[in-house]
Amino acid sequence: MALDFQVVATEDQARRGRVRTIHGEAETPCFMPVGSWGTVKGMTPEELRATGTQVVLANTYHLMLRPGSELIARLGGLHRFMAWDGPILTDSGGFQVYSLARLCRLEDEGVEFRSHLDGALLKLSPERAMAIQAELGSDIAMVLDDCPPLPSPASRLSEAVRRTVGWARRSRRAAAEGQAVFGIVQGGLDRELRRQCLEELVTISFDGYALGGLSVGESKEDRDALVAELAPELPGERPRYLMGVGTPEDLVESVAAGLDLFDCVIPTRNARNGQLFTSVGKLSIKNARYAEDPGPLDPACDCPVCRNYSRAYLRHLYLAGEILAPRLHTWHNLHYYQRLMRTMREAIEQGTFPQFRREFLSRPKENEA
């Protein structure tokens, strides 16, 4: 698939716009469901579109292991392979190397590790990560970064920033022509290291900038404080991306801080575990009080699940282990997340976002219905 496109975040009164690619425009703020293996679990592309999804995230690490980026390239690229005609962002695979693989060696040249699937010894360098993403044909490619867990000593955080910047330079040079590349700001909870990393990334000049290295062991309070402080410092003329976060409340607060793009496994993973998001808080469908409940999952929701199925039926499917249960739950949760993003876009355009934020954050977090 052709790669001749640009990513541009246009500004309006509230510093909002669109992320444009040859595969369409994504209005911001925008939530990207996680499709690590080239699929959002349980959802067809048509169903994803119906939820309001605009951009999908896929993962370099997983796809390089199975079925392999070379095979995907021979079959026409990831868009054709997964039958998704919208924009795709691919993570570099760095986070998965550190979290899933049996890491053998981390050095400035790259990482050497053993696959979590079969133990095969593999190497991933900035150049290789970009080459894989070029073979996949994604619209937006993330640089390979060094993502340390939290807490980590100051020396480890400093090393991660130095290595991340070095890898970012190499990634930029190795990027496929026309493929947008986002830099990733590391530095743990150290504000000065974060700013140092950002300043150096800006000199390289990327198409977008991401806050990475979060949700890796820090407290929610520390993460929220860091995001609120540093998000406005990301270049305002480019898309601002918060990686791997979060809950609906996280998204509202992050949009308030000025961020545009988000991804997280919460809506899909929680759906498979029977936890649903509603207009009046989270709901655990396995709760016995829903055994004879004829009402919809969320009376305020217009998704096909809420229009057609009762809480009692959804609980029955879940307890029976039926495949339909996680599919319907995922559909509803993604619809909820995308409706939340759409509501925030409308509130920003209408100048009512501060009021919306106050009212949303004052809602109960657990469903009491």
Taking residues 341-361, report their average pLDDT: 96
Q: Which of 224, 250, 263, 298 is catalytic?
A: 263
Map tokens 């990393």 to a residue: 197
Q: What is the mean pLDDT of residues 245-274?
A: 97
pLDDT tens digits, one per residue of 60-87? 999 999 999 999 999 999 999 999 999 9
Q: Establish how many alpha carbons lie within 13 A of residue 13's alpha carbon, considering only the half-sphere containing its beta carbon.
A: 9
Burial classification of residue 233, based on how many CB atoms lie within 10 Å of its CB (0-12 exposed, 13-18 middle, 19 or more buried): middle
Angle made by CA atoms 260, 265, 271, in degrees to the nearest 5: 125
Alpha-carbon span 83 to 127, nearest angstrom: 27
Q: For residue 4, what pLDDT is reported?
A: 32
| CATH number for the domain formed by residue range(s) 18-263 | 3.20.20.105
pLDDT value, residue 1: 24
pLDDT in tens, 142-156: 999 999 989 999 999
pLDDT of residue 20: 76
Looking at 91, 139, 224, 298, which residue is catalytic? Answer: 91
Average per-residue pLDDT in the chain? 92
pLDDT exceeds cutoff 70 at 266: yes
Mean predicted confidence (pLDDT) in 193-210: 98
Give the residue-averaged pLDDT of 298-313.
98
Residue 5 has pLDDT above 60, yes or no: no
pLDDT at 194: 98
Question: What is the model's pLDDT at position 23?
Answer: 78
The CB density around residue 105, as the number of other CB atoms within 10 Å, is: 10
- % of the chain with per-residue pLDDT over 90: 82
Q: Can you tell me the mean pLDDT for 223-234?
A: 97
| pLDDT(227) > 60 | yes
Average the pLDDT over each of 39-48, 103-112, 137-146 and give the range with the smallest value: 103-112
Q: Which pLDDT value is given to residue 14?
A: 45
pLDDT at 368: 60
Could you confirm whether 85 is annotated as catalytic? Answer: no
3-state secondary structure the chain: CCCCCCCCECCCCCCCCEEEECCEEEECCEEECECCCCCCCCCCHHHHHHHCCCCEEEEHHHHHHCCCHHHHHHCCCHHHHHCCCCCEEEECCHHHHHHCCEEEEEECCEEEEECCCCCCEEEECHHHHHHHHHHHCCCEEECCCCCCCCCCCHHHHHHHHHHHHHHHHHHHHHCCCCCEEEEEECCCCCHHHHHHHHHHHHHHCCCEEEECCCCCCCCHHHHHHHHHHHHHHCCCCCCEEECCCCCHHHHHHHHHHCCCEEECCHHHHHHHCCEEEECCEEEECCCHHHCCCCCECCCCCCCHHHHHCEHHHHHHHHHCCCCHHHHHHHHHHHHHHHHHHHHHHHHHHHCCHHHHHHHHHCCCCECCC
State the pLDDT at residue 114.
86
Of 209 and 149, more confident:
209
pLDDT score at 300: 96
Residue listed under structure tokens 């080239």: 38
Residue 19 — pLDDT band, cuts 50, 70, 90?
Answer: confident
pLDDT digits (tens, 9 = 90+) for 336-349: 999 999 999 999 99
Stretch among 157-161, 236-240, 288-292, 361-365 having the lowest mean pLDDT: 361-365
Question: Model confidence at 15, in pLDDT bands (50, 70, 90)?
Answer: low
Mark whether 263 is an active-site residue: yes
CA distance 290 to 313: 9
The model's pLDDT over 280-305, given as tens digits with 9 standing for 90+, comes to: 999 999 999 999 999 999 999 999 99
Domain residue spans in the chain? 18-263, 270-361
Give the integer Cα–Cα distance in Å for 214 and 148: 10
